[in-house]
Amino acid sequence: MLKHSEPPNPMKTARGASFAVDHRSARNAGDAVDRALAARQCATVHPPPRWTERALTVSELTRRVQATLEPAFQRVEVRGEVVGARPTSAGHLYFTLKDASSQLPCVFWRTSLARHPGKIEDGMKVVVAGDLQVYSAHGRYQLVAQRLVDIGMGELLAKLEALKAKLAAEGLFDPAKRRPLPLFPRRIGLVTAATGAALHDFVVTAHARFPVPIVLAACRVQGDLAAASIAGAIRVLARRPEIDVIVVGRGGGAMLDLLPFSDERVVRAIAASPVPIVSAVGHEIDTTLADLAADRRAATPTAAAELVVPRMSELVRALELQRAALAAATERLVAERRQDLDALDDRGRAAVQGRIERARRRLRTLSERLSRLHPQTRLGVMRVRWSRAETRLIDLVRRRLAAQRSALDLRLERLRLLSPLASLERGWALVRTDAGTLVRDAAEVQVGQALTVLVKGGSLEVVVTKATPVRDTPDDREGDRHRA
Whether 33 maps to a domain, the answer reads yes
294: number of Cβ within 10 Å: 28
Whether 395 is covered by a domain: the verdict is no
What 3-state DSSP class applies to 220?
Answer: coil
Question: How many Cβ atoms from other residues are within 10 Å of residue 358's Cβ?
Answer: 10
Q: Do 229 and 127 sit in the same domain of this protein?
A: no
Q: Is 19 helix (H, G, I), strand (E, B) or coil?
A: coil
Taking each helix axis as running N to C, give the angle between helix 226-238 and helix 264-272, from 0 to 180 degrees, rounded to the nearest 10. Answer: 10
pLDDT for 111-164, tens place per residue?
Answer: 999 888 778 887 778 899 999 999 888 888 999 999 998 775 555 677 888 899
Helix (H) or strand (E) holding 323: helix 312-372
The answer to whether position 76 is within a domain reads yes
pLDDT in tens, 156-197: 677 888 899 999 999 999 999 999 999 889 999 999 999 888
Q: Does 203 lie in the same domain as 148?
A: no
**Structure confidence at residue 44 (pLDDT):** 55
Name the residue among 81, 84, 75 with its Cα closest to residue 126. 81
First to last CA, the chain: 104
Residues 210 and 291 in one domain: yes
DSSP structural state of residue 262 = G
In a domain, 164, yes or no: no
Beta strands 125-135; 76-87: pairing state:
antiparallel
User: Residue 481's pLDDT is what?
Assistant: 54
Tell me 300's DSSP state. S
**Predicted confidence (pLDDT) per residue in 316-373, tens digit:** 788 889 999 999 998 888 888 888 888 888 888 888 888 888 888 888 888 877 776 6
Domain check: are 206 and 277 in the same one?
A: yes
197 and 281 in a single domain? The answer is yes
CATH number for the domain spanning 102: value is 2.40.50.140
Contact yes or no for 94/86 (Cβ under 8 A): yes
**Total domains in the fold of the chain:** 4
The β-bridge partners of 107 are 94, 144
On whether residue 166 sits in a domain, the answer given is no
Distances (CA, A) of 381 to 93, 158, 172, 335, 426: 71, 94, 95, 59, 61
Question: In this predicted structure, what is the pLDDT of residue 51?
Answer: 82
Is residue 437 situated within a structural domain?
yes
Q: Are 122 and 84 in contact (CB under 8 A)?
A: yes
CATH number at residue 234: 3.40.50.261
Q: Which pLDDT does position 474 carry in this prediction? A: 58
How many other C-beta atoms lie within 10 A of the C-beta of residue 115?
12
What is the three-class DSSP state of 464?
coil
Whole-angstrom Cα distance, residue 10 to residue 231?
Answer: 98
Q: Are residues 441 and 466 both part of a single domain?
A: yes
pLDDT confidence of residue 23: 40
Rounded CA gap, 269 and 347, in Å?
68
122 and 214 part of one domain: no
Domain boundary among 283, 310, 337: 310
**Same domain membership, residue 144 and residue 34:** no
Same domain, 15 and 119: no
Question: Which residues of the chain register pLDDT less than 70?
Answer: 1-46, 152-156, 254, 256, 284, 286, 372-373, 421-422, 471-484
Tell me how crowded residue 143 is: count the other CB atoms within 10 A of its CB: 24
Which of 344, 341, 332 shows the shortest CA–CA distance to 59?
332
Predicted local distance difference test score (pLDDT) of residue 253:
74
Q: Which residues contact 248 (CB under 8 A, 6 or more apart)?
A: 191, 192, 230, 234, 261, 266, 270, 277, 278, 279, 280, 281, 290, 294
Phi, psi (deg, nearest 5) at residue 156: -60, -45
Which pLDDT score, from 0 to 100, does residue 13 have? 36
- Rounded Cα distance between 130 and 45, Å, is 53
For position 476, what pLDDT does the model report? 56
Q: Which of 64, 86, 92, 4 is nearest to 40 (CA)?
A: 4
- Of 132, 153, 174, the residue at which a domain comes to its end is 153
| Same domain, residue pair 205 and 130 | no
Q: What is the Rg, in whole angstroms, of the alpha carbon atoms belonging to the chain?
A: 51
Q: Is 395 helix (H, G, I), strand (E, B) or coil?
A: helix
141 shares its domain with 193: no
242 touches 211 (CB < 8 A): no
**Burial class (CB within 10 angstroms; exposed 0-12, middle 13-18, buried 19+) of 228:** middle
Domain with 40, as residue range(s), is 1-46
Structural domain includes residue 401: no
CB atoms within 10 A of CB 134: 19
Q: How many CA atoms lie within 13 A of 219 on its CB side?
A: 31
- Where a domain ends, among 288, 310, 332? 310
Q: Which residues contact 465 (CB under 8 A, 6 or more apart)?
A: 447, 448
Q: Where are the alpha helices (DSSP H) in 73-196?
A: 110-113, 155-169
- Distance (Å, whole) CA 107 – CA 81: 14
Please indicate, yes or no, whether residues 90 and 132 belong to a single structural domain of this protein. yes
Does residue 292 lie within any of the structural domains?
Answer: yes
What residues form DSSP beta bridges with 450? 463
- Note if the pTM is more than 0.85: no
